[in-house]
């Protein structure tokens, strides 16, 4: 940060009145409110963390602000059983680790306001939407474990639902090291009793830091969301783009790597019935995903007949059309029924290739100097990718019954049936028994099954490395959980013992006919068991500490963290709030073709300092990786397995509410 920038910021700060007549909600973190926050993700009914029929973690906007993070995916590092790291596939997007599974194929369903982001070509939400700014988020809910009984495919080892702001008027600006510049705005207006409009806007840019591989990791992202609610009608739209150039893409570090993704979303909903005992609603939504990417495959000095580096990548478009009807009814005896039907049509419309070597006469990629294109171009209608342009038609029905047997005992029973035309069909049952023998103690015994449908890249890919397998079936998991939750006046403790039976996991294997090529097979079965702990202690009215710890009893299916933990400490003094956090990850060792990856255990320290200037304004300093820890995470597609972690990042934020 330059001296000129600093002077401008502090000049603005000291021209603001410092009198505060009321406390901002950032400094009103009620311990009881955090414990009894309402969650909808677990059952499509309003439940608390205690009564929800799943293992749930929730972050409200106050808690998110104190973590010093920028991207919603980074919240996973503070969720028991989950981690998010950088890796390699397209644009070094976030990679999900969940309950000992790191296969990078979309085993966590990510949603914004209940609408899925995972799509049909790569399966992972973060490939097409790798950056979701935390400034526009009101709440994030996590299901730790199976969620297919409500949400279908990809709700496999977890569900992440991001709820954006709809009732805020605020603006913020930020600057930081590594060329960070950001601006966000949330607006809303209640025209009358029946008409409400809202909007969220965000822009973020950073030039990135320099790595020993000779590259930076620049990032540029924009997010726009608007919505209107008129009586029983709701209409919303969303647009975002993200650019992640340079750094790492498809196994190679290069300043010429390219990655850009765009998303367009539109939904229309209507509440047909909304009474004290019954409700019926419907929604139609449409999403269009675009990705343009190209990564270094081989450097010039490794090529026999070419004097330029070789790049290749996808230029793909996919769409998702979904129509669903949801209904609920509460009976006179207290039982409640939730049910719904859903139709979705997912299609890959475009499957072109981006490369810098191409023979247009034969329609082939030939890495020789006569076919060099002078740079990366897009090849339309690339014949080997024709089969990728396919569609998935899914018909689904679900039902869930909540039975309050007594004041101490509640039973949830539900299932969902998904039929994917010409591919597969799955029944995903779930049962949860919640027993509260005393006010402070809650016991849960939960069983659920979830699945993930293979995507077009696995079914129909055809390039110089992999060939798809159209005979693939869905992966599925059977999960049993035993939960004990203890809640005292000033502290709480959650412990979860889980037992996962993993079946038909899709793996890359050598092709039986074509030498030096690979294909996909349903061949991995495994068992994964572990314990997840989280606790929060309110030491006094100003000071609180919370922590998480995860330990797997079995060796993970793919090299990933077997043990990890986090600690968050919050301290309030007058108009100041200080929050420090630390993420700890255990050692990871793995063998690649020519290297041994060995990253020792490490801590990452972050946090935020916030100063309430007035009832409507505040300034915050956010820090990630405070001690500038240099570390690597494992990714099997990188030649030596090592992907560089993000170094120290700090940024100054100014927010005003109106």
Q: pLDDT means per 10 residues in the chain (658 residues)?
A: 39 34 44 61 78 91 92 97 87 87 83 94 91 95 94 93 96 97 98 97 97 95 98 97 94 94 97 95 98 94 94 96 97 94 97 96 95 96 94 97 95 97 95 95 97 93 84 95 93 96 89 77 92 96 96 92 97 94 96 88 97 94 96 89 94 96
Domains, in order of start, for the chain: 3-657 (2.40.170.20)
Measured CA to CA, the distance from residue 269 to residue 260 in angstroms comes to 30
Q: What does the pLDDT read at residue 29?
A: 45
Q: What does the pLDDT read at residue 573?
A: 92
Q: Which two tokens stand for residue 562?
A: 């077997």
Contact 625, 648 (CB under 8 A): yes
Which residues, in sequence order, are CB contacts of 643 under 8 Å at separation 6+? 85, 86, 87, 88, 92, 248, 632, 633, 634, 635
Contact 622, 651 (CB under 8 A): yes
Measured CA to CA, the distance from residue 454 to residue 629 in angstroms comes to 37
Residue 429 CB-density burial (10 A; 0-12 exposed, 13-18 middle, 19+ buried): middle
Q: What does the pLDDT read at residue 634?
A: 92
Please report which helix (H) or strand (E) contains residue 321, including its range: strand 310-330
Which residues, in sequence order, are CB contacts of 160 under 8 Å at separation 6+? 72, 75, 76, 108, 109, 110, 111, 140, 141, 142
Contact 509, 472 (CB under 8 A): no
Q: Which two tokens stand for residue 149?
A: 């009984």
For residue 516, give Cα distances in angstroms to 332, 342, 358, 387, 510: 66, 42, 21, 21, 7
Measured CA to CA, the distance from residue 580 to residue 431 in angstroms comes to 38
User: ∠ at Cα 234 (231, 239), nearest 5°?
Assistant: 150
For residue 457, give Cα distances in angstroms to 301, 548, 549: 30, 36, 35
Q: What does the pLDDT read at residue 76?
A: 97
Q: What does the pLDDT read at residue 21?
A: 33
Q: What does the pLDDT read at residue 106?
A: 81
Which residues, in sequence order, are CB contacts of 95 under 8 Å at separation 6+? 84, 85, 86, 87, 102, 104, 126, 633, 635
pTM of the complete model: 0.93
Q: What does the pLDDT read at residue 36?
A: 61
Measured CA to CA, the distance from residue 85 to residue 15 in angstroms comes to 41
């Amino acid at each position: 940060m330059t001296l000129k920038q600093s002077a401008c910021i502090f000049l603005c700060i000291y021209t603001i009145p410092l009198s505060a007549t009321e406390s901002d909600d950032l400094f009103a973190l009620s311990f009881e409110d955090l414990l009894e926050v309402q969650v909808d993700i677990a059952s499509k009914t309003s439940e608390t963390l205690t009564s929800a029929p799943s293992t749930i973690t929730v972050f409200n906007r106050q808690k998110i602000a104190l973590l010093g993070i920028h991207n919603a995916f980074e919240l996973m590092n503070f969720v028991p059983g989950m981690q998010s790291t950088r890796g390699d596939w397209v644009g070094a997007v976030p990679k999900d680790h969940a309950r000992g599974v790191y296969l990078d194929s979309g085993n966590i369903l990510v949603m914004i306001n209940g609408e899925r982001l995972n799509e049909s070509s790569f399966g992972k939400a973060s490939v097409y939407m790798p950056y979701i700014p935390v400034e526009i988020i009101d709440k994030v809910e996590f299901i730790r474990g199976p969620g297919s009984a409500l949400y279908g495919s990809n709700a496999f080892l977890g569900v992440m639902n991001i709820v954006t702001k709809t009732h805020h008027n605020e603006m913020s600006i930020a600057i930081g090291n590594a060329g960070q510049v950001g601006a966000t705005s949330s607006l809303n207006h209640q025209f009358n009793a029946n008409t409400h409009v809202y909007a969220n806007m965000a822009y973020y840019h950073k030039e990135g830091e320099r790595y020993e591989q000779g590259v930076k990791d620049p990032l540029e992202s924009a997010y726009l969301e608007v919505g209107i609610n008129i009586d029983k009608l709701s209409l919303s739209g969303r647009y975002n783009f993200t650019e992640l150039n340079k750094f790492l893409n498809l196994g190679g570090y290069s300043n010429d790597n390219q990655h850009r993704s765009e998303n367009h979303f539109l939904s229309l909903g209507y509440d047909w019935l909304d009474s004290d005992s019954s409700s019926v609603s419907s929604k139609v939504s449409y999403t269009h995903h675009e990705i343009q990417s190209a990564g270094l495959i081989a450097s010039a000095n490794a090529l026999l007949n070419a004097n330029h580096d070789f790049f290749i990548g996808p230029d793909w478009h996919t769409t998702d059309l979904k129509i669903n009807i949801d209904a609920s009814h509460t009976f006179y005896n207290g039982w409640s029924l939730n049910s719904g039907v859903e139709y979705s049509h997912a299609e890959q419309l475009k499957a072109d290739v981006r490369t810098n070597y191409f023979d247009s006469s034969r329609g082939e990629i030939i890495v020789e100097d006569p076919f060099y294109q002078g740079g990366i171009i897009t090849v339309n209608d690339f014949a080997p990718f024709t089969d990728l342009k396919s569609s998935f038609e899914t018909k689904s029905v679900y039902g869930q019954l909540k039975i309050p047997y007594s004041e101490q005992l509640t039973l949830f029973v539900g299932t969902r049936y998904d039929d994917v035309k010409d591919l597969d069909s799955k029944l995903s049952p779930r049962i949860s028994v919640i027993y509260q023998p005393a006010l402070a103690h809650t016991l849960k015994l939960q069983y659920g099954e979830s699945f993930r449908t293979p995507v077009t890249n696995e079914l129909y890919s055809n390039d110089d490395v992999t060939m798809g397998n159209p005979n693939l079936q869905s992966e599925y998991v059977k999960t049993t959980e035993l939960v004990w939750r203890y809640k005292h006046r000033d502290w709480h403790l959650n412990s979860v013992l889980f037992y996962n039976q993993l079946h038909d996991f899709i793996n890359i294997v050598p092709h039986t006919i074509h030498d030096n090529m690979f294909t996909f097979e349903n061949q991995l079965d495994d068992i994964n068991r572990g314990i997840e702990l989280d606790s929060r202690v309110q030491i006094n009215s100003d000071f609180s500490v919370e922590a998480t710890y995860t330990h797997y009893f079995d060796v993970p299916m793919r090299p990933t963290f077997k043990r990890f933990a986090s600690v968050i400490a919050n301290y309030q003094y007058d108009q100041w709030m200080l929050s420090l956090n630390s993420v700890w990850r255990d050692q990871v060792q793995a063998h690649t073709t020519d290297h041994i990856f060995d990253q020792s255990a490490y801590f990452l320290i972050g946090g935020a300092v916030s100063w309430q200037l007035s009832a409507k304004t505040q300034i915050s300093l956010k820090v990630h990786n405070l001690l500038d820890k240099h570390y690597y995470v494992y990714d099997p597609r990188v030649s030596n397995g090592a992907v560089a972690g993000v170094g120290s990042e700090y940024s100054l934020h100014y927010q005003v509410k109106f």
